[in-house]
């Protein structure tokens, strides 16, 4: 019985890591459903981008107040996990504050972590108020109804609960230290717990009860972290992990530069080549003929699918989108959310059947409507606004290419323009011979 808590802890830790690894493998499999794309060029510039944007929060400063609050949460999340390492060691080996041999440095470290944890808790409360009381408009768009709204709140509730568990654990620990209870080494500095939780706990003056409080808070804190680790896959908070590869693989070319389709480019080059034989038989395609644009997530590239999983649903892209601002149906955030939803539906299909069986649905039309796609002005405001370099425009362009080149489903005005270019060599409905008639008078 003496080692039962250690065995239970080890079982929970191994089970949590196993389930997390399983979800990471599924995530990689789903991203690999997309087309391969080479984004390993200019590694030095890519590392700089990742350090500046993901690690340094370089694009968050556009909105100073959320940027400061997010920095507290981000830095707190990273540094407080050092104390989690100590908790893991204590849980496996049955020790208590094993790093206390560091002496005064340990006291300073725990004190600093408490201050950070308090800032994290205050920041999360303010974030909750911004979403649910102030009701900032970008958090109340149509695509944020249901699970997206609940998920954002669940995360805030969990983070506040974890921080309160930490303060309760430390407060009870301090009281037990002051009562000279065995196993509770005099170590750590508790600038927040000493006034937030310790005075209330001290009132009970019962060693057994205070011990139960300390252990309950300890278990709640670490089991909560195990739960949160595996909740990430199902949550918008997956960006905690994916923001780093996403910014590394992000587009380095100018934002306004749109890639050309290789098959179309080769065809145009052949048509313009004076040495090409116009009567030559085209080469037989190898395998399935290439789809122009994207009909489903299989036609998107792997970086675009990584973008979909990385989206934080913060809505900065939609808040900057001129089409959305003027009442159009387009929301760049919804484009990313729909892409991820479609990818998850396909993932469940593969899990159930061992391979993907056609479900009669596609990303375009069933998830994202042509009305949304044609509302886009290609201004790149969404990609500029995204704090982690997600590129919704690239998906919009590929879906529009499919509508135009595979389904001839462009708006009437665009079809007229393309017909004029084909017949008259210009967007206007005038014959070549009449082009200079404007100068007659």
The model carries a pTM of: 0.90
Residues 365-386, mean pLDDT to the nearest whole number: 95
What pLDDT, on a 0 to 100 scale, did the predictor assign at position 288?
61
Joined tokens for residue 244: 């780093």
Distance CA 69, CA 54 (A): 16
Query: pLDDT of 302-313, one tens digit each?
Result: 999 999 999 999
Residues 400-415, mean pLDDT to the nearest whole number: 88
pLDDT of residue 39 exceeding 80, the answer is yes
- Which of 147-156, 263-272, 275-284, 288-297 shows the lowest mean pLDDT across its residues? 275-284
Angle between helices 207-231 and 147-178 (to 10 degrees): 150
Segment holding 304, helix H or strand E: helix 302-310
Distance CA 167, CA 164 (A): 5
Residues 75-98, mean pLDDT to the nearest whole number: 87
Helical spans, DSSP H, in 94-146: 104-132
Q: How far is CA 97 from the centre of its chain?
A: 34
Alpha-carbon distances, residue 32 vs 36, 298, 303 (angstroms): 8, 9, 9
Mean pLDDT score of the chain: 91
Distance CA 383, CA 255 (A): 8
- Which of 84-88, 165-169, 285-289, 318-322 shows the lowest mean pLDDT across its residues? 285-289
pLDDT-above-90 percentage for the chain: 70
Q: Which residues of 319-341 are buried (b: 16+ CB within 10 A; e: fewer)?
A: bbbebbeeebebbbbbbbbbbbe
Residues 378-406, mean pLDDT to the nearest whole number: 94
What pLDDT, on a 0 to 100 scale, did the predictor assign at position 411?
86
What pLDDT, on a 0 to 100 scale, did the predictor assign at position 285?
55
Q: How far is CA 357 from the centre of its chain?
A: 28
Query: pLDDT of 205-230, one tens digit each?
Result: 899 999 999 999 999 999 999 999 99
pLDDT of residue 202 exceeding 70, the answer is yes
pLDDT-above-70 percentage for the chain: 97
Q: What dihedral angle (degrees, nearest 10) is formed by the CA atoms of 418, 422, 427, 432?
A: -160
pLDDT of residue 113 exceeding 90, the answer is yes
What pLDDT, on a 0 to 100 scale, did the predictor assign at position 297?
96
Neighbours of 199 (CB within 10 A): 12
Q: Which residues of 241-260 are buried (b: 16+ CB within 10 A; e: fewer)?
A: bbbbbbbbbbbeeeeeeeee
For residues 429 and 250, which has the higher predicted lDDT (pLDDT)?
A: 250
368 — phi, psi (to 5°)?
A: -120, 125
Q: Please, are residues 322 and 379 in contact by the beta-carbon 8 Å criterion?
A: yes
Distance CA 296, CA 31 (A): 13
3-state secondary structure of 42: coil
Distance CA 399, CA 370 (A): 9
Angle between helices 207-231 and 4-31 (to 10 degrees): 20
CATH of 262-272+289-424, one of 1.20.120, 1.20.1300, 1.10.1060, 1.10.3470: 1.10.1060
3-state secondary structure of 400: helix
What pLDDT, on a 0 to 100 scale, did the predictor assign at position 280?
64
**β-pair partners for 364:** 368
**DSSP letters of 168-198?**
HHHHHHHHHHHTT-TT--S----TTHHHHTH
Confidence band, pLDDT 50/70/90 cuts, at residue 61: confident
Query: pLDDT of 47-58, one tens digit each?
Result: 999 999 999 999
pLDDT of residue 286 exceeding 60, the answer is no
Confidence band, pLDDT 50/70/90 cuts, at residue 33: very high
What pLDDT, on a 0 to 100 scale, did the predictor assign at position 5?
85
Q: Please, are residues 191 and 109 in contact by the beta-carbon 8 Å criterion?
A: no
Number of alpha carbons in the 13 Å side-chain half-sphere of residue 118: 16
pLDDT of residue 381 exceeding 90, the answer is yes
Q: How far apart are the first and last CA of the chain?
A: 105
- Which of 279-288, 291-300, 398-407 shows the lowest mean pLDDT across its residues? 279-288
What pLDDT, on a 0 to 100 scale, did the predictor assign at position 284?
53
For residues 259 and 11, which has the higher predicted lDDT (pLDDT)?
A: 11
pLDDT of residue 438 exceeding 80, the answer is no
Residues 146-162, mean pLDDT to the nearest whole number: 95
What pLDDT, on a 0 to 100 scale, did the predictor assign at position 260?
84
Residue with tokens 């057994």: 208
3-state secondary structure of 35: strand
Q: What angle do CA 88, 90, 94 make, to 5 degrees?
A: 135
Query: pLDDT of 242-284, one tens digit each?
Result: 999 999 999 998 888 888 887 778 777 877 788 877 666 555 5
The residues, ordered by sequence, that sit 6+ positions from 140 with a Cβ below 8 Å of its Cβ are none
**DSSP letters of 316-378?**
HHHHH-HHHHTT-S--HHHHHHHHHHHHHHHHHHHHHHSS----S--IIIIIB-HHHHHH---
């Amino acid at each position: 019985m003496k080692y039962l808590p250690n065995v239970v802890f080890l079982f929970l830790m191994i089970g949590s890591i196993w389930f997390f690894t399983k979800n990471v493998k599924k995530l990689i499999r789903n991203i690999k459903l997309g087309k391969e794309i080479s984004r390993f060029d200019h590694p030095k510039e890519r590392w700089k981008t990742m350090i500046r944007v993901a690690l340094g929060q370089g694009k968050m400063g556009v909105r100073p107040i959320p940027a400061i609050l997010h920095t507290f949460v981000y830095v707190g999340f990273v540094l407080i996990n050092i104390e989690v390492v100590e908790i893991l060691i204590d849980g496996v080996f049955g020790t208590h504050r094993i790093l206390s041999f560091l002496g005064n440095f340990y006291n300073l470290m725990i004190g600093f972590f408490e201050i950070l944890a308090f800032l994290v808790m205050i920041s999360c409360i303010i974030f909750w108020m911004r979403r649910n009381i102030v009701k900032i408009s970008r958090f109340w768009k149509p695509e944020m109804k249901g699970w997206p709204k609940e998920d954002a709140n669940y995360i805030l509730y969990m983070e506040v609960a974890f921080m309160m568990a930490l303060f309760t654990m430390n407060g009870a620990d301090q009281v037990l230290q002051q009562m000279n209870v065995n196993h509770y080494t005099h170590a750590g500095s508790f600038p927040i717990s000493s006034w937030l939780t310790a005075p209330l706990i001290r009132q009970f003056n019962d060693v057994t009860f205070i011990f139960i409080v300390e252990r309950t808070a300890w278990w709640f804190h670490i089991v909560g972290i195990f739960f949160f680790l595996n909740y990430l896959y199902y949550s918008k908070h997956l960006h905690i992990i994916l923001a780093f590869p996403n910014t590394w693989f992000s587009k380095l070319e100018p934002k306004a530069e749109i890639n050309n389709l290789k098959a179309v480019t080769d065809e145009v080059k052949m048509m313009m080549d004076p040495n090409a034989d116009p009567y030559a038989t085209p080469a037989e395609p190898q395998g399935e003929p290439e789809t122009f644009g994207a009909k489903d997530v299989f036609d998107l590239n792997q970086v675009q699918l990584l973008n979909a999983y990385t989206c934080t649903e913060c809505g900065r892209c939609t808040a900057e989108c001129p089409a959305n601002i003027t009442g159009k149906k387009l929301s760049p955030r919804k484009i990313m959310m729909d892409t991820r939803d479609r990818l998850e539906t396909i993932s469940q299909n593969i899990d159930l059947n061992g391979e993907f069986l056609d479900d009669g649905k596609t990303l375009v039309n069933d998830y994202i409507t042509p009305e949304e796609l044609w509302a886009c002005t290609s201004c790149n405001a969404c990609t500029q606004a995204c704090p982690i370099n997600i590129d919704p425009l690239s998906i919009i362009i590929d879906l529009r290419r499919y509508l135009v080149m595979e389904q001839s489903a462009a708006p009437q005005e665009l079809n007229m323009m393309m017909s004029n270019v084909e017949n008259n060599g210009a967007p206007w409905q005038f014959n070549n011979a009449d082009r200079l008639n404007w100068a007659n008078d």
